[in-house]
Amino acid sequence: MAGMELTVGLRGEVVVTVGVDDTAERVGSGDVPVLATPRLVALAEAATVRAVAGRLGEGRTSVGTRVELAHRAASPVGTRVTVAAELTAVDGRRLSFAVSATDGRGTVLGDGLVERVVVDRERFLDALSR
């Protein structure tokens, strides 16, 4: 798409400290006070958004279409979590990212892939109101 400045290798990162609101107990995905899988998915998507921020062209955004994530280790409240995304493929409007999450000790907390599609923001929102 014209106006996009997307190249394989673009990276984005999100760093958070797990809080009570991030836990499985709080989001309803379990009953233990550790980082919830749905919250990890949201962080992975946020990292992909950061990877392409400012590069999609005027009036464009990206929307998530696919997530495959293995949640490999538990992270209790207070754990510092870094989620990184790397753009691995650009196929027209479809963007593919490798994502990984680690803690301060380098333990892999999760990894997988996220796919997004570039859309015209106004047309996307207009279609929702029909």
Note the pLDDT of residue 130: 79
Q: What is the pLDDT of residues 54-83, one digit of tens each?
A: 999 999 999 999 999 999 999 999 999 999
Is 45 an active-site residue? yes
Query: Mean pLDDT over residues 28-57, rounded?
Result: 97
> Percentage of residues in the chain with pLDDT exceeding 70?
98
Q: Which range of residues forms the domain containing residue 74?
A: 11-128
Choose, from 5, 13, 23, 45, the residue flagged as catalytic: 45
Is 71 an active-site residue? yes
CATH of the domain at 112: 3.10.129.10
**Is there a domain that residue 104 lies in?**
yes
Query: Mean pLDDT over residues 19-38, rounded?
Result: 98
pTM of the complete model beyond 0.85: yes
Note the pLDDT of residue 1: 53
Query: Mean pLDDT over residues 114-120, rounded?
Result: 97
Choose, from 23, 48, 71, 86, the residue flagged as catalytic: 71
**Is there a domain that residue 5 lies in?**
no
Choose, from 5, 7, 13, 37, the residue flagged as catalytic: 37
Q: How many domains does the chain have?
A: 1
Is 37 an active-site residue? yes
**Is there a domain that residue 3 lies in?**
no
For the chain, the three-class secondary structure string (H helix, E strand, C coil) is CCCCCCCCCCEEEEEEECCHHHEHHHHCCCCCCEECHHHHHHHHHHHHHHHHCCCCCCCEEEEEEEEEEEECCCCECCCEEEEEEEEEEEECCEEEEEEEEEECCCCEEEEEEEEEEEEEHHHHHHHHCC
